[in-house]
């Protein structure tokens, strides 16, 4: 029995958001018909690519930082059992309580029970991929507990009864007039004269959430990093809603995938440089909060850390695929992906969209449950170049395709891809970028942003000699 229990298993079906209702090609076809969506996405990804390229170019040691980040994550995976136990020991010594959740159902149950034990009917939440992955909001609602998303984009998604479509900017698919309509319809007490000026919309969210922040006693967060040798947790954010959730309530519950560990406090010096520049294109994001257990008289006096497996050990069991666990959720790979830019995040079905989603979701669920995702890529290699921890996404895609030859779906995906790739400007420029950065050598010096910061220290899969459409016609 224990041997069976102790074998890695995939994330269970029927809970959470790792599997879509339809396959990638079907969902992509819908998205491709939405020209507003494509305009919103193209504007957003172009902006972020430019910003990111400029601040990465400011660092002369970007490639050294990437190598260190990559090695640190490999080291962490190799020593995961000891590091997790060390983390538990440190957090416990600092007054926190550590819970272990084998899957989404167990994590949902743990959090729900903790909120119930606190006697509360409402929790405030700061954006966390892990809690979306496990469907925590649905579980809380089923238990009569109201989860309030406090990240502006998450609030837009939640009030609009919508789904996130990007790791970093979950409402990237909504424009200002759509946001105004959502607020007018679903935000209690909103000024009926609300305009669609972005500062006005942000001000409405500030007023709406202030009272909720001050009166809610339990918060749920994710974590960007957990430091094994000190028990310190870190949340990286922009708006200050994270600080509110991490500071004001009496009880804080943090749900974190077991792969988020960093071995030592010193190692944070690498990731705090990689993450903001790769994700929001800032030298540093506006706010980063770090806390270790409970600080008497300052912040939540009850701290619970939920360590989540939910298929991660199954990913770890694959020697090629386990690199997907190195991901620090910066979203750079989404922003450079020609397929993502055309289809948007919803087409991927899972909370993890884009290139990282194409390798992570099928591994978490088992490839059979997300069989079309490994094909949702043109293997142009831009994601590998952009990744701050050097995850070789194209090789993992190929590896997963070999695990799941899926002729019928593949044909459908290729049809969608052919349409997607038919002359979009970005696809060509991404391929050009891939080629150029190979020529430019290790540091990509001398190229204009955003190419100058990206590496090309390895062999890319060869870009196709003929276009997808040609290939499709000729086969």
Q: Which of residues 379-418 bind ligand SF4 (CB under 6 A)?
A: 386-389, 391
Nearer to ligand SF4, 16 or 276 (CB): 276
220 is a site residue for another protein (CB under 8 A) = no
Q: Which of residues 63-122 bind another protein (CB under 8 A)?
A: 64-65, 67-68, 71-72, 74-75, 77-81, 84-85, 88, 94, 100-102, 106
Report whether 99 contacts 91 (CB < 8 A).
Answer: no
Q: State yes or no: cis peptide before 398, omega within 30 of 0.
A: no
Nearer to another protein, 275 or 376 (CB): 275
The correct pick among 22, 141, 185, 210 for binding another protein (CB under 8 A) is 210
Residue 353's region, left for phi above 0, alpha for psi from -120 to 50, else beta, is beta
> Pick from another protein, ligand SF4, none: which does 431 bind, CB < 5 to 8 A by kind?
none
Which among 9, 22, 53, 104 is positioned nearest to 382, based on CA atoms? Answer: 53
Report whether 169 contacts 44 (CB < 8 A).
Answer: yes
Nearer to ligand SF4, 15 or 68 (CB): 68
Segment contacting another protein (CB under 8 A): 10-18, 277-285, 404-412, 431-439? 277-285
Segment contacting another protein (CB under 8 A): 13-21, 25-33, 305-313, 443-451? 305-313
Q: What is the rounded CA–CA span in Å between residue 200 and residue 241?
A: 17
To ligand SF4, the closest distance from the beta carbon of 360 in angstroms equals 8
Q: Which residues of 1-37 are buried (b: 16+ CB within 10 A; e: fewer)?
A: eeeeeeeebbbbeebbbbbbeebbbbbbbebbeeeeb
Query: Tokens 């069989």 — which residue?
Result: 371
Q: Total residues at the site for another protein (CB under 8 A)? A: 104
> Pick from another protein, ligand SF4, none: which does 387 bind, CB < 5 to 8 A by kind?
ligand SF4
Q: Which of residues 305-344 bind ligand SF4 (CB under 6 A)?
A: 327-333
Q: What is the rounded CA–CA span in Å between residue 136 and residue 327?
A: 22
Nearer to ligand SF4, 222 or 231 (CB): 222
The correct pick among 128, 132, 241, 343 for binding another protein (CB under 8 A) is 241
Q: What is the rounded CA–CA span in Å between residue 121 and residue 100?
A: 24
> Pick from ligand SF4, another protein, none: which does 269 bind, CB < 5 to 8 A by kind?
another protein
Q: What is the rounded CA–CA span in Å between residue 37 and residue 180?
A: 17
> Pick from another protein, ligand SF4, none: which does 78 bind, CB < 5 to 8 A by kind?
another protein
Report whether 258 contacts 225 (CB < 8 A).
Answer: no
Q: What is the rounded CA–CA span in Å between residue 248 and residue 279?
A: 27
The correct pick among 15, 28, 48, 396 for binding another protein (CB under 8 A) is 48
Residues that bind ligand SF4 (CB under 6 A): 327-333, 356, 386-389, 391
């Amino acid at each position: 029995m224990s041997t069976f229990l102790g074998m890695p298993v995939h994330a269970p079906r029927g809970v959470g958001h790792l599997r879509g209702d339809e396959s990638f090609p079907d969902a992509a076809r819908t998205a491709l018909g939405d020209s507003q969506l494509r305009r919103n996405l193209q504007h957003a990804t172009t902006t972020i690519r430019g910003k990111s390229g400029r601040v990465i170019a400011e660092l002369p040691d970007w490639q050294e930082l990437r190598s260190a980040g990559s090695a640190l994550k490999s080291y962490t995976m190799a020593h995961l059992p000891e590091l997790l136990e060390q983390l538990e020991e440190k957090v416990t010594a600092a007054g926190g309580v550590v819970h272990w959740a084998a899957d989404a159902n167990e994590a949902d149950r743990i959090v729900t029970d903790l909120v119930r034990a606190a006697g509360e009917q409402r929790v405030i939440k700061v954006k966390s991929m892990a809690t979306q992955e496990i469907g925590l909001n649905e579980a809380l609602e089923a238990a009569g507990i109201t989860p309030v998303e406090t990240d502006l984009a998450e609030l837009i998604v939640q009030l609009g009864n919508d789904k996130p479509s990007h790791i970093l900017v979950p409402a990237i698919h909504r424009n200002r007039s759509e946001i105004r309509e959502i607020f007018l319809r679903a935000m209690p007490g909103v000024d009926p004269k609300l305009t669609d000026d972005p500062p006005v919309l942000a001000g409405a969210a500030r007023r709406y959430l202030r009272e909720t922040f001050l009166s809610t006693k339990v918060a749920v967060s994710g974590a960007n990093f957990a430091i094994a040798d000190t028990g310190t947790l870190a949340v990286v954010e922009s708006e200050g809603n994270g600080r509110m959730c991490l500071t004001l309530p009496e009880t804080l519950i943090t749900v974190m995938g077991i792969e988020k560990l960093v071995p030592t406090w010193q190692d944070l010096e690498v990731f705090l440089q990689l993450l903001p520049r790769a994700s929001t294109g800032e030298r540093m994001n506006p706010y980063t909060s770090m806390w270790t257990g409970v600080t008497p008289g300052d912040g939540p006096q009850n701290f619970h850390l939920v360590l989540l497996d939910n298929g991660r050990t199954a990913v770890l069991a694959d020697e090629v695929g386990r690199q997907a666990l190195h991901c620090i959720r910066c979203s750079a790979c989404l922003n450079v992906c020609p397929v993502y830019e055309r289809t948007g995040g919803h087409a991927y079905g899972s909370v993890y969209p884009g290139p990282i989603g194409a390798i992570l979701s099928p591994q978490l669920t088992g490839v059979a449950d997300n069989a079309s995702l490994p094909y949702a890529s043109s293997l142009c290699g831009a994601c590998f170049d952009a990744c701050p921890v050097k995850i070789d996404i194209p090789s993992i895609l190929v590896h997963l395709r070999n695990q799941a030859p899926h002729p019928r779906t593949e044909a459908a995906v290729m049809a969608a891809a052919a349409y997607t790739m038919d002359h979009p400007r970005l696809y060509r420029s991404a391929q050009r970028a891939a080629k150029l950065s190979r020529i430019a050598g290790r540091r990509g010096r001398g190229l204009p942003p955003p190419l100058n910061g990206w590496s090309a220290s390895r062999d890319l899969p060869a870009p196709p000699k003929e276009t997808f459409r040609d290939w499709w016609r000729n086969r």
